[in-house]
Amino acid sequence: MNKLNLAIAIVPLIIVAVGLIGWVVTLRGNLDAVQKEIVALQAAQYDDSALLGQVQELSLASEEGMTKIAWIMEDYGPAIEDIRNRELDTDMNDKIAELAKEVGSIGSVLDRARELDEIVNEVKTEIAVISNEQRTINSDHRVFAEALEAMGELGLLPSGERREYGNYGK
C-alpha cells in the first residue's frame, strides 16, 4: 500500500511537470516569433529614404522656381509697366498681350511652388508621426525587455538562459 500511495502522489507531479515544460517551450516559440516581427516592423518603419529624397527634390525644385520667378519679375516687371504707360501701336499691344500671358504663366509657377510647399509640410507631418510611433515602439520594447529580464532572473527561461534585451535606459 505504501508504494501505491507514493505512485499516486508522484504521477500528478509528473503530469504537471510535463505540462509546464510544454508550456515553456510554446512560450519560447511565441517569443521568438514576436522578436522576428518586431525586427521586421522596425526595418519597415525606418525605410523612408525614398520619401526623404523626394522631399529634397521637391524643395530644390520649389527654390529654383521661386528664384526664376524673382528674376523674371525683376527683369520684365518694369518693362511691362513702361510699355503699358506708353500705349504704343497694335504690334506693341500684341507683345504686351504675350508678355501678359508669360506673367500669367508665372502665376501658375507660383501656384505650383505653393503646392510643393504644402507637400513638404505634409511630409514633415508624416515624419513627425513616424518618429512618435518609433518612440512608442521603443517604450514597448523597454517594458518587454524588463519582463524578459525578470523571467530570466526567476529562471523561467529555458535552460537558465541569461541574455540582455534591448539595453534600454542603461
Over range 23-42, report the average pLDDT: 84
Could you count the other beta carbons within 10 Å of the beta carbon of residue 109?
14
**Residues 6+ away with beta carbon under 8 Å from 145:** 164, 165, 166, 168
Instruction: Evaluate if residue 83 carries a pLDDT over 80.
Output: no
Q: Which residues of 61-73 are buried (b: 16+ CB within 10 A; e: fewer)?
A: ebeebeeeeeeee
* CB-CB contact of 145 with 166 (8 Å): yes
pLDDT tier at 162, thresholds 50, 70, 90: low
Over range 87-94, report the average pLDDT: 63
pTM over 0.95: no
- Residue of higher predicted confidence among 75 and 67: 67
pLDDT tier at 96, thresholds 50, 70, 90: confident
